Amino acid sequence: MAFIAKMNSMPTLDASVRSKNFKEVALGYSANVAIEEAKRCLNCKNKPCVTGCPANIDIPGFISHVKNNDFDKAFEVISQSSCLPAVCGRVCPQESQCESKCTMGVKFEPVGIGRLERFVADYHNSKDSDNEQKAKQVQPNGIKIAIIGSGPSGLSCAGDLVREGFEVSIYEALHLPGGVLSYGIPEFRLPKRIIRKEVDALISQGVKLKTNVVIGKTLDIDDLFEMGYKAIYVSTGAGLPKFMNIPGESLKGVYSANEFLTRVNLMKAYKEGSFTPISTGEKTVVVGGGNVAIDAARCAIRLGSKVTVVYRRTEKELPARLEEIEHAKEEGIEFMFLTNPIEIKSDENGFVDSIVCRQMKLSEPDESGRARPVEVAGSEFEIKTHSVIMALGTSPNPLIRKTTKGIKFNMHGGIVVDDNGKTSREGIYAGGDAVTGSATVISALGAGKRVAKAIMESLTK
């Protein structure tokens, strides 16, 4: 059998067009291309790809249905392990997860697992009426579970529990559900209608969604127990932005990536008629190299700014998804590697005028295994800019920590849990970014599922 060495390419909107709007960039496979791509899978007996998927999706299983033109069956297989395939197919860093383990990838390019997953999910979602029917009636067991935070981790836990008959309520601090999927990841990478659809499906299955409730303020965890919840899942994410603590970080025109992305996504500053002001000026510098930095950069270019991403290591160490980095470059975003900001300077009105950086070089690896950047003495230089977006990562929000007794936290503010997601306090579980610090959608989803299982085992025996 002759192998097709290359993965079928993903059709995308033209870079010169898309860099001026917020439409989805990757357009998705057609059915024919999906079947072609599925045929590249060798259906390996030992399923190495599955070990690379934090949700353990039966990858060869669903792909073989795609091969046979049975997309509904394919969706069923994926659904057994993941409730957000349309999301994960789009945003998983596949090159370091499932696809990194694919046998095809040893000699050729790996199978486009993420692209196929997205295709199957989109196919399913395009058939509207089906969603309702899928919600098969389960016998309610009357056991109340509270979930704090409606990010991917909370949603997946809720989905698994409601399907077993639990009475599930999700409490969300913001006015919209979805967590980072709603306020962080931009429209052109993950259209909001997808999240809305997933959430609507959960609600039609009986999950109660309570927005505008900040746990630790509006209600606290003890209130929830008093209200009759038998278990509580804390999936509050890692939303606290970090700053560099360099001079000038409070100038006008300096944003945390969270503020910038929240204004653009959650508050829809990009839409005509929006009340939310956002202004980048002609030139924007983004500091950082993760998904967050690339998303902020790509939003800024869409708002009409010239954008430079400043990163202190080299291109090889960029933690963002490969595809996003490529897309960003195509859209005209400039990268400056081995560059570290030391000061932001202002004009006479307190607005950003320039950012002073120092050249870096790489030395021995640090404890994370990545080469440690060190400053090159006397290498300062200035970049003129109107805005600076700080995308340096986030840590878990301290609100629950400050208002809940009996839960242990680690030195980074993450909640300490055992393998089942149990915290040090009876009845309270935790998972997702709130435990690990900023990670991935699929690992947050996987944690939600593990906790759902643990809760079922402890409460239905």
Binding-site ranges for ligand FAD (CB under 6 A): 91-93, 148-154, 171-174, 179-180, 184-185, 214-216, 235-237, 239, 261, 291-292, 295, 321, 397, 399-400, 432-434, 438-442, 444
Residue 279 contacts which entry, ligand SF4, ligand FAD, another protein, none (Cβ below 5-8 A, type-dependent): another protein
Q: Where are the alpha helices (DSSP H) in 68-112?
A: 71-79, 85-91, 104-107
* Partner in contact with 30, chosen from another protein, ligand FAD, ligand SF4, none, beta carbon below 5 to 8 Å by kind: none
Backbone angles phi, psi at 222, to 5 degrees: -65, -35
Judged by CB under 8 A, which of 41, 57, 121, 209 binds another protein? 209
Q: Closest separation between CB of residue 321 and ligand SF4, Å? A: 11
Please give the Cα distance from 447 to 459 (Å, whole number): 18
Nearer residue to another protein within complex by CB, 72 or 130: 130
Burial of 208 (0-12, 13-18, 19+ CB in 10 A): middle
Contact letters (x/-) for ligand SF4, 45-84, by CB under 6 A?
A: --xxx---x-x-x-xx---------------------x--
Round to whole Å and give the CA distance between 309 and 293: 8
Answer for which of 114, 186, 373, 432 binds ligand SF4 (CB under 6 A) is 114
Which of ligand SF4, another protein, ligand FAD, none does residue 363 bind (CB under 5 to 8 Å by kind)?
Answer: none
Among positions 82-101, residues that touch ligand SF4 (CB under 6 A) are 82, 88-89, 92, 94, 97-98
Site for another protein in 220-239 (CB under 8 A): 223, 226-227, 239
Shortest separation between residue 102's beta carbon and another protein, angstroms = 31
Map 177-242 to HEC letters: CCCHHHHCCCCCCCCHHHHHHHHHHHHHCCCEEECCCCECCCECHHHHHHCCCCEEEECCCCCEEC
CB 101 within 8 A of CB 51: yes
Dihedral sign from CA coordinates of 142, 143, 149, 153: negative
Contact call for residues 100 and 111 (beta carbons, < 8 A): no
Compute the least distance from the CB of residue 341 to another protein, in Å.
16
By CB under 8 A, what part of segment 84-103 binds another protein?
Answer: none
CA nearest to 82, candidates 152, 6, 5: 152
Q: Which amino acid appears at position 165 of this protein?
A: G
Q: Which of 24, 25, 28, 117 binds ligand SF4 (CB under 6 A)?
A: 117
Task: Assess 176 for contact with another protein (CB under 8 A).
Answer: yes
Site membership for ligand SF4, residue 31 (CB under 6 A): no
Q: Can you tell me the distance from the alpha carbon of 325 to that of 309, in angstroms, rounded to the nearest whole number?
A: 11
Nearer to another protein, 20 or 39 (CB): 20
**Binding residue (CB under 6 A) for ligand SF4 from 25, 33, 34, 41:** 41
Residue that is written with structure tokens 């499932």 in the block: 98
d(CA 187, CA 201): 20
User: Binding to another protein by residue 415, rule CB under 8 A?
Assistant: no
